[in-house]
Amino acid sequence: MSLDLNFVFRVLVFPGFAFILLFTMFCDWVERKIEARMQNRMGPIYTGPVGVLQPLADFIKLLTKEDIVPFNAKNFVFRFAPIVSFSIFVFSFAFLPIDGASVVSGSNFEGDLILVLTLVSIANFLLFLSGWSSTNPYSAIGATRVLTQLLGYDIPLFILALAPAFLAGSLNIAAIANKQYVPFAFLIPWTFALFIINLQAELEKDPFDVPHAETEIVAGYETEYTGRRLAFLKLAKDVQMVLGAAIAVELFLGGPYGPIFYGLSAVWYTLWFVLKLLIVVVVTEYLTCIFARLRIDQVLVVNWKLLLPLALLSLAVTVGVGLWLNPL
């Protein structure tokens, strides 16, 4: 069977693996610079112009450190959970249209929204396993907190993702992105706001920072990881952030589709995608800066008593708006 060079290029280089990795590092740099400016300091400035190469430098530094596996840890799960988690996050990108068409052409199908959200939940569960297999009291507490938080935000996440699906009339992410002549963020802004708050919980940023609260449990589920495995775990967290923001962009901001002015449509689509994703990154970073970290029981109160009822309510309102826009 002949190897389709186009396919290989799309999967491995652009908009596939290499693009995702480099883009993740770029988003990490944007995050750190914005957080620094909000806190009236400089952020990375030395590595590369304006410090752009800092996340790459951190990654390479971690790769050169010694890799220790505590002798009590469950070996197989400890070694492979970060890598499998990272691969699942990267694989979920296959269903998102980045330059107008999805990474593997023809991979979209009706219902891939549910598949992507399920993959995200599985990858988060693997993060829990990575903490649990460390057999360290700090990691155990961090891992149980990950699971408790996962239970709390997963259901509202699904419900809120259904709202744009209903408005677009399909569960195909590419179709949802395509049907947005006006981005859904302007049609149903309350759902978008709730989705961003939910995203904060999924990405474990303030105020939902509790699974890896440094001042209480050292590093939570990351405590026993060093060297290469820690590099992969951190990379998995960063890719998760880009994936979450990408899902928000596809569902609410119209994906890569935007006005084309001149030239190749693929270039313009990628540009719009990057721009919209950076907007989401800046908004989540702003939310990180203005809140403190909540306790786990307060997180549960916010999830179950606040997010879930509001998510259900917003879905009901969206159904009303949708029926008003396109009467059956």
Partner 1 sequence: MASADKILKALSDSLGKRIIQTRTLQPGKSYIQVQTGAHKDAVRIVLQEDNEAGVSAITGVDLGETIELMYHIRTCDTIITIGAEVPKKDAKIESITDIFPGANFHEREVSDLFGVTFEGHPNPKRLILPEDWPENVFPLRKEVSVANIPSKIGNFGVSKDEKHVSSEERLVNIVLGPQHPALIEPEKFSLRVDGEIVRGVEPRIGYVHRGIEKAAESRTYLQDIYLVERICGICNACHAACFCQTVEAIMGVSVPPRARYLRTIILELNRIHSHMLLLGHAGLEIGYETLFHYMWRDRELIMDIMEALTGNRVIASFITIGGVRRDLKEEDVPKIKAELTKLKERLSFYKNLFESDSTLKMRTRNVGVLSKQDALKLGVVGPVARGSGVNMDVRRDEPYAAYNEIPFNVITYDEGDSWARLMVRLDEVGESVNIIQYALDHLPTGPYRVRVPRTVPTGEAIGRVEAPRGELFYYVKSNGTAYPERVKVRTPTFANILSFVHIAEGGNVADVPASFVSLDPCFSCTDR
Partner 2 sequence: MKVKREMAKLSPILREVISQVFKKPATRRYPEVKPKVPAGLRGRQIFDITLCISCGLCARDCPAKAIEMVDVEGKMRPLFHLDRCIFCYQCAESCPRNAIKSSEIFELASTNKSDLVVKPKENSVSGGSQ
Beta carbon nearer to partner 1, 39 or 107: 39
Pattern of binders to partner 1 over 253-282, x per CB under 8 A? ------------------------------
Sole binder of partner 2 in the list 74, 295, 305, 323 (CB under 8 A): 305
- Whether the upstream peptide bond of residue 15 has omega within 30° of 0, thus cis, is yes
- B/e letters for 173-210, b = 16+ CB within 10 Å, e = fewer, are bbbbbbbbeebbbebbeebbebbbbbbbbbbbbbbbbb
Residue 319 burial (CB < 10 Å; 0-12/13-18/19+)?
Answer: middle
The site partner of 79 among partner 1, partner 2, none (C-beta below 5 to 8 Å per kind) is none
Judged by CB under 8 A, the stretch of 49-57, 75-83, 240-248, 288-296 that binds partner 1 is 288-296
Count of residues that interact with partner 2, criterion CB under 8 A: 16
CB of 309 to partner 2, least distance (A): 12
Cβ distance 227 to 68 under 8 Å?
yes
Beta carbon nearer to partner 1, 41 or 325: 41
By CB under 8 A, tell whether 141 contacts partner 1: yes
Beta carbon nearer to partner 1, 102 or 149: 149
The neighbouring-strand residues paired with 102 are 97
By CB under 8 A, tell whether 281 contacts partner 2: no
CB of 41 to partner 2, least distance (A): 5
By CB under 8 A, tell whether 107 contacts partner 2: no
Judged by CB under 8 A, the stretch of 37-45, 52-60, 120-128, 311-319 that binds partner 1 is 37-45
By CB under 8 A, tell whether 201 contacts partner 1: no
CB of 68 to partner 2, least distance (A): 33
By CB under 8 A, tell whether 34 contacts partner 1: no
Residue 66 burial (CB < 10 Å; 0-12/13-18/19+)?
Answer: exposed
Cβ distance 256 to 269 under 8 Å?
yes
Residue 271 burial (CB < 10 Å; 0-12/13-18/19+)?
Answer: middle
By CB under 8 A, tell whether 71 contacts partner 1: no
By CB under 8 A, tell whether 301 contacts partner 2: yes
By CB under 8 A, tell whether 46 contacts partner 2: no
By CB under 8 A, tell whether 36 contacts partner 2: yes
Count the Cβ atoms, other than its own, within 10 Å of residue 149.
Answer: 23
Sole binder of partner 1 in the list 80, 91, 293, 300 (CB under 8 A): 293
Rama region for 154: left / alpha / beta (φ>0; ψ in -120 to 50; rest): alpha
Note the residues at the interface with partner 2 (CB under 8 A): 34, 36-42, 286, 289-290, 298, 301-302, 305-306
Note the residues at the interface with partner 1 (CB under 8 A): 38-41, 137-138, 140-141, 206-207, 209-210, 213-218, 289-298
